[in-house]
Amino acid sequence: MSTPTPKAPSPLRPLPALIFASRWLQLPLYLGLIAAQAVYVWHFLLELWHLVEAVFGSQTALQALITSIGYKPEVQITALNETVIMLVVLALIDVVMISNLLIMVIVGGYETFVSRLGLDDHPDQPEWLGHVNASVLKVKLGLSIIGISSIHLLKTFINAANYDVKVLMWQTIIHVVFLASALAIAYTDKLLNSSHDRH
């Protein structure tokens, strides 16, 4: 007995075809994010190089690090210390987490809103990409933003002497708002999924 051949999809009418094809307008946006990712890689390597140079006694590299981590100009630091190293490493972690967020938006957004990447049999397919959709992507992005905000807040607290009290207060408030927003998104997603499962 012969198996029935799958029915070929009927072509879309001109207006629906145009509307559906408009998703490709997002392609330049994702390519732009890839360019931003390259800028972050360059920034990471530059900061890492300054750190290595400062370890070997370069005063120019040390001053570049001190400026980048937000020390007040009147603070005189002539040698690399534990606080400076910690702040630079946290800044590097911050860059890595933002880079992870970019990858999540680029890969997950393209897969969800533009076109399939065809990674089902690829050995390097990210684990989270197998079950990603718009709802899951929102929750993951919210959690990533909280992680980035946490690192940024930790950097500020370690370097609190060089910040105004209002800056510390507002960064803490903004972090709490991020946390509440992510919890609200996750809770809404849970309610929608439970309602969908019941139906």
- Which of 85, 114, 143 finishes a domain? 114
Distance (Å, whole) CA 95 – CA 107: 18
pTM given for the model: 0.73
Is residue 77 in some structural domain?
yes
Q: Are residues 148 and 106 in the same domain?
A: no
Q: Work out the percent of the chain whose per-residue pLDDT is above 90.
A: 14
Q: What is the pLDDT of residues 126-149, one digit of tens each?
A: 666 666 666 777 777 787 888 888
Tokens 């992870």: give the residue. 100
- Each residue's pLDDT tens digit, 33-89: 999 999 999 999 999 999 999 888 888 888 888 888 777 656 677 778 888 888 888
Q: Residue 70: left if φ>0, alpha if ψ -120 to 50, beta else—which one?
A: left
Q: For all residues of the chain together, what is the average pLDDT?
A: 81
Question: Is residue 145 located within the same domain as residue 73?
Answer: no
Confidence at residue 26, expressed as pLDDT on a 0 to 100 scale: 87
For tokens 């992005």, the residue is 141
Q: Which domain holds residue 85?
A: 23-114
CB 156 within 8 A of CB 171: yes
Q: Do 138 and 64 share a domain, yes or no? A: no
Nearest to 78 by CA among 96, 66, 92: 66
Q: Is 47 exposed, middle or buried (0-12, 13-18, 19+ CB in 10 A)?
A: buried
Half-sphere exposure of 159 (CA within 13 A, CB side): 27
The amino acid at residue 89 is V
pLDDT (average), residues 78-103 = 85
Dihedrals phi, psi of 137, to nearest 5 degrees: -60, -40
> Which run of H or E residues covers position 194?
helix 165-198
**50 shares its domain with 100:** yes
